[in-house]
Structure 1
Amino acid sequence: MGILVVSDSHGLVREVAQVADRHSVDKILHCGDFCVDHKREPFSRMTLVRGNCDATSEVPVEQQTNWRDLHILQTHGHLFGVKSSLLRLHYRAEEVGANVVVFGHSHVPACGVERDILFLNPGSLQLPRGFDVPTYAIIEETGVTPKTVQVAVTFYDYQGNVVRDLGGSYSIRR
C-alpha cells in the first residue's frame, strides 16, 4: 500500500471521492485548495493543509506525517514561493528533517529528488497546468537500506490511468 497525494481540486467533491475510493492506500494527503467544507466526505478522512483559496482557519498550513521510513512535509506551497523556486521549501524540509515534501499551488505535476529529498507536486484535479490532463499521485516505499529509502511515485490521470511520462523510482535519505 502507499500514500495517495492530491491537490488543487478547487471545489470538486464527486471526482475527489472517486479518486479516493479507487485506490487502497494507507493515507490520503490533500495539498490544499480543496475549497469545500473540510468536514465533508471524502475530505474528512484526508490529511489536509490549507491553500491560498481555502477559507477555514481550522486546517493548518503545514502538516508532518511519518509513514514507514518516510518523514513527509505537506504544505500547499504558496507561502514558500513554489511557483518561482523550491529553495525556501527545501530549507523548511531540512529544518524539520523531512525526506519527502508534497505540495501543490502551481497545478503543475512534478517529481524529483534534490539533495536526497523527494519533492512531489501531484498536479491538479481541477485545473491542470503544464500537462494535458488532471493528475494525482501515489507514493510507495519499495526498499530500505541503513542510509536510504527507495520510493516509487506513480502518477494517474483523473480516470485512474497511469501517466507514464511522470513519476518513477527514487532513492532518498533515510
Structure 2
Amino acid sequence: MGILILSDTHGLVREVKETVERHAADKVFHCGDFCVDRQREPFAGMVLVKGNCDAAGDVPDEQLTEWKDLKILQTHGHLFGVKSSLMRLHYRAEETGANVVLFGHSHVPVCGVERGILFLNPGSLQLPRGFDVPTYAYLEQLETKKREVRVKVTYYDHRGNPLDRLGGSFSLRR
C-alpha cells in the first residue's frame, strides 16, 4: 500500500470521501485548505496541516511523519512562498532531514526531485490551476537500498482515472 495525498479541497466533503474510499492507503495526507470541521469524516482520519483558508487553530502549520523509509515534511506552502519558489521549502526539508515534501497552496500539480528530495504538490480537487482537471496523488515505496529509496507517484483526476502525464518513479536519498 501507499499514501494518498490531497490538497486545496476548499469545503468539498462528498468528493473527498469518494476519493479516500477509492484507494487502499496506509495514510491520507491533506496539505491544507480543507475548509471544513477537521472532526468531520473523512478528515478526522487524515494527517492534516493548516492552509491559509483554514480556521482550525488546533491544526499545525507543518507535520513531520515517518512512513516506511521516508521522512515526510508536510505543509500547505503559503508560509514558504511556494508560488514564487521552492527554495525556502527546500531549506526547511534540509533542516528536518526530510526526503519527501508534500505541499499545496498553488493548486498546480508538481512532482520532481531536487538533491534527493521529492517535492510533491497533488494539485487541487476543487480549483485546479496549471492543469485541465482536478487532481490528487498516490505515493508508493518500491524498494530501499543502502543509500536510496525508490518511489512511484501516480496522479489521478477527480474521477479516479490515472494521469500518465504526471508523476513517475523517482530515486530519493535515504
Residue 131 (1) aligns with residue 154 (2): no
Q: Which residue of 2 aligns with 1:66?
A: 66
Offset, 1:63? 0.4
Q: What is the one-letter code of the residue matched to 2:7?
A: S
The CA deviation string for residues 13-39 of structure 1, in whole angstroms up to 9 with x for no partner, is 000000001000100000000000000
Q: What is the one-letter code of the residue matched to 2:23?
A: H
Q: What is the one-letter code of the residue matched to 2:144?
A: V
Q: What is the one-letter code of the residue matched to 2:48?
A: L
Aligned equivalents of 1:82, 1:32: Cα separation in 2:
14
Unpaired runs of 5+ residues, structure 1, are none
Q: What is the one-letter code of the residue matched to 1:100?
A: V
Aligned equivalents of 2:35, 2:54: Cα separation in 1:
5
The CA deviation string for residues 27-86 of structure 1, in whole angstroms up to 9 with x for no partner, is 000000000000000000000000000011110000011000000000000000000000
Q: What is the one-letter code of the residue matched to 2:47?
A: T
Q: Which residue of 2 aligns with 1:11?
A: 11
Q: What is the one-letter code of the residue matched to 1:52?
A: N
Q: Give the percent of matched residue pairs that are identical in Structure 1 and Structure 2.
A: 70
Partner SS state of residue 137, structure 1: strand
Q: What is the one-letter code of the residue matched to 1:29?
A: F
Partner SS state of residue 11, structure 2: coil
How many aligned residue pairs are there? 174
Q: Which residue of 1 aligns with 2:46?
A: 46
Aligned equivalents of 1:43, 1:56: Cα separation in 2:
12
Aligned equivalents of 2:110, 2:89: Cα separation in 1:
14
Residue 100 (1) aligns with residue 109 (2): no
Q: What is the one-letter code of the residue matched to 2:136?
A: Y
Q: Which residue of 1 aligns with 2:55?
A: 55
Length-normalised TM-score, structure 2: 1.00
Aligned equivalents of 1:137, 1:57: Cα separation in 2:
26
Q: Which residue of 2 aligns with 1:142?
A: 142
Length-normalised TM-score, structure 1: 1.00
Q: Which residue of 2 aligns with 1:80?
A: 80
Unpaired runs of 5+ residues, structure 2, are none
